[in-house]
Structure 1
């Protein structure tokens, strides 16, 4: 047991917390819903209501540091009651400052509007047709093989191809994109050589392709997704600069890769650990959406998001000075006992489970949430339809009495490093 009190432990560098965060979050919640961290100098928000308060308060809390985390030092020393001008003056010094997740206000709204053609009901319906067909193919191959590794062998390739279809990436380029994403460090990883600059590698690689796609479609429009993306305009009618569309496309392609893959493999872990639940869902697939919502609440793939106090403000009754970095602990809020009864227990059909914060809330709520829910639901339907039973591989994880699985050491992502399972075909 760690001798340090929870607020003195470093959420960003303590590998034991990165691998297994829930006891730490519980200990922080016992101190209060908003806790002053000692290392780094930041606030951690763990209460459900308090997290929503921060996520919806776009006036006082900025997403300036969202992609790098509250442990990353600011490129300036905050001065005064409002640091908005300092933030703007030093924005170019913050890594990934041009990404959508780090934008606020009108700039965020403008960039978000460019995503609209990708998430219209008709486009999502067309994408679901691809998902269903592709999921059946992926599962058929895995079941015929009799075994598989869920995280890297099945889940990641599956979600990569789904988002490639959504964006209209040509078939011949999809494998190239997947290879560069697979070789990159995981977001927030503590065990890989993962300095902040390395995460730009996949985005820069994909940017070259998307620039070519968009230029080609602007010159030679076609009836496809890339043409819609290339010719979309801002709400005021102006055509976006090429770099904005390229950055947005690369962000969409990369953003959901790890989280959706982790959600799928985590969902499978619940099924192999609870054969009764697995049988229940196999008998009644209409229960799968409710199952996914409880998995999201209990083991959502995103542990936290991050904010910066733009001006002197409050969270609940806690005074927050301008320049204070904030950890919005989504995974802690999803287990807040003030909001959830028996919060650490999996309860199939839990009332209002879909009100979890795994897809965040407010202006920065995940635009791809409907897609994530659909792709996980459809591939789970196929796994259950094509099998009589799915179980742990004892060869890789040991017998039930000594079973071992390992989670990634990341302050950002919650997900298994690997999950080997055996498939007994229907």
Structure 2
């Protein structure tokens, strides 16, 4: 039975996912809630918020009781674009499918993200990082978010997809458009932005579908060819061009922005912890730990969402069949019942990968090998070239304030301009 909204546990006053405090530190919203109201209702988002690690774990691991089907079906597609991007297609994004359909799509996509393939890509990521740094090393200050974090992740994505310069702007724009469209089910877009976003999005889908068809008989090792040439048991294409294009769209967003966010957040943490920065600079094996602790303390995507398929109770709270739940990953990662000194940023934790930044279970992030490898490589090269680099203290932080996926827009940094001459451009790490 559905609990009347007036009787549902209410959100604490500090719960404001698009407020300044939450954008800077999502975990700050849950310290009291985990004790007082571990599962509460957000009337603004029309969803339950789940805060405790044990509850988050239970939901993520029970796909039969907590479905992903509601994640794409609630996205409103404007009438003028429904022919190209019908609602039925939006419901086929990776985060909105359950087994067995999700299993087949993931099987096809995962071949492009296997760890050996990603590890082999690291020298290319490092070489691109050096070339990007060459362009601004002598300046002494830069907005690192645009000039390095997003630039590097975008270039890496272009290499993974086997795309040339002619598609670069399309992929850069598609990243933000996809996040905006995902959020529109809960945070509607206003005109004229709504039409502008959907127009670009539809044209991008058509371009990606054409690329898929061009590579159906290809022999390349890029992700588009890998997915386009995959065959089902009957010998036909495993996935349609429309489905592959939609999955490529997901990769363009998750594979660029979330990793760029992690790199930027790591620089903020390192700037506030000079002792741990010095340790990582002295021992390059610590850079993967820097990334792990960063995404534990401040996951790039602060929520994962599910829909209850039956009436259930979570921490004593009645959740009705059909209700949406947002799992607060930032809260689960800082739950003091599982993490010592959860608010501290410590790269020497005993189990550095024990967090939910990449979620868990059947929907664990496909691209996590890439995110981990690229994040560590980006930091390793950056601080080898510009060892004195630090975030500018008290610089304004600009975000695209989406509750589900807040996007950092800037990161002001500065360094001693002599670093560039001391290190030498293009030096191998």
Q: By the TM > 0.5 criterion, same fold? A: yes
Q: Which residue of 2 aligns with 1:360?
A: 359
Q: 2:218 aligns with which of 217, 221, 224?
A: 221
Structure 1 residue 387: deviation in Å?
A: 2.0
Alignment of 1:63-78 (within 5 A): 63-66=68-71
3-state SS in 2 of match to 1:43: strand
Aligned partner of 1:269 in structure 2 is 268
Moved more, 122-131 or 133-142: 122-131
Tell me what 2:242 maps to.
243
Q: Distance in 1 between matches of 2:234 and 2:359?
A: 28
Match in the other structure for 1:100:
94
Which position in structure 2 is the counterpart of 1:327?
326
- Aligned partner of residue 325 in structure 2, secondary structure: strand
Q: 1:376 to 1:12 in 2, by over 3 A?
A: same
Query: How has the CA–CA distance of structure 1 residues 67 and 275 changed in structure 2, closer, same or farther, with 3 Å as cutoff?
Result: farther
The 5 Å alignment of 1:337-348 reads: 337-348=336-347
CA-CA distance at 1:305 after TM superposition: 1.1
Shift of 1:375: 0.7
CA–CA distance in structure 2, aligned partners of residues 94 and 317 of structure 1: 35
Distance 1:327 1:198 in 2: 28
> What CA distance in whole angstroms lies between the structure 2 residues aligned with 1:184 and 1:246?
12
Q: Which string of whole-angstrom CA distances, capped at 9 and with x for unpartnered residues, describes residues 167-213 of structure 1? A: 22234322442255467875649798598776655543332222222
SS in 2 for 1:261: helix
Cα 1:16–1:252 change in 2 (3 A) is same
What is the distance in 1 between the residues matched to 2:275 and 2:262?
20
Q: Is there any run of 5+ residues in structure 1 with no aligned partner, and where?
A: 74-91, 394-399
Written as runs of structure 1 = structure 2, the 5 A alignment for 1:171-210 is 171-179=165-173, 181=175, 188=183, 193=190, 200-210=198-208
TM-score by length of 1: 0.82
1:157 aligns with one of 151, 158, 162:
151
Match of 2:254 in 1: 255
The structure 2 residue matched to 1:19, chosen from 16, 20, 23, is 23
CA 1:66–1:352: 2 relative to 1, 3 Å? farther
**1:115 pairs with one of 109, 118, 122:** 109
List per-residue Cα deviations over 1:304-361 (Å, max 9, x = no partner).
0111101123335443221111111111111111111111111221122311101011
Aligned length: 394
Q: Distance in 1 between matches of 2:46 and 2:226?
A: 44
Q: TM-score, normalization: structure 2?
A: 0.82
Over 3 Å counting, the alpha-carbon distance change for 1:41 and 1:254 in structure 2 is closer
Partner Cα distance (1:24, 1:121) in 2: 35
Cα distance in 1 between the residues matched to 2:409 and 2:270: 17
Aligned 1:287-326 pairs, distance under 5 A: 287-326=286-325
**Residue 179 to residue 207, structure 1, CA distance change in 2 (3 Å):** same
Counterpart CA distance in 2 for 1:24 and 1:375 is: 29
Higher mean C-alpha deviation, range 262-271 or range 177-186: 177-186
Q: Report the alpha carbon displacement of residue 41 of structure 1 after superposing the two structures with TM.
A: 4.5
Deviations 1:253-303 (CA, angstroms, capped at 9, x unpaired): 222222111111111112222322222211111111111111111111111
Q: Is the 8 A contact 2:296 2:333 kept in 1?
A: yes
3-state SS of paired residue (1:327): strand
2:127 is aligned to 133
Task: Tell me, yes or no, if the aligned pair for 1:7 and 1:37 is still in contact at 8 Å.
Answer: yes
Q: Deviations over 1:53-107 (max 9, x none)?
A: 00111001111233588xx89xxxxxxxxxxxxxxxxxx7589322121111111
Aligned to 1:378: 377
Mark the runs of 5 or more structure 2 residues left unpaired by the alignment: 1-8, 77-85, 423-429
Aligned pair partner of 2:65 in 47, 60, 67:
60
With over 3 angstroms needed to count, the CA separation of the structure-2 counterparts of 1:184 and 1:413, relative to structure 1, is closer
> 1:139-178 deviations in whole A, cap 9, x for unaligned?
2323233221122222112111111211222343224422
* Structure 1 residue 418 corresponds to structure 2 residue 377: no
In the alignment, the residues of structure 1 paired with residue 13 and residue 44 of structure 2 have an alpha-carbon distance, to the nearest angstrom, of 7
What is the DSSP-based 3-state SS (H/G/I as helix, E as strand, rest coil) of the residue aligned with 2:387? strand
Q: Which residue of 1 aligns with 2:285?
A: 286
Q: 1:257 to 1:200 in 2, by over 3 A?
A: farther
Given the alignment of the two structures, is residue 146 of structure 1 paired with residue 140 of structure 2, yes or no? yes
- Residue 289 of structure 2 contacts residue 348 of structure 2 at CA under 8 Å; is this kept in 1? yes
For residues 158 and 119 of structure 2, the distance between their equivalents in structure 1, rounded to whole angstroms, comes to 15
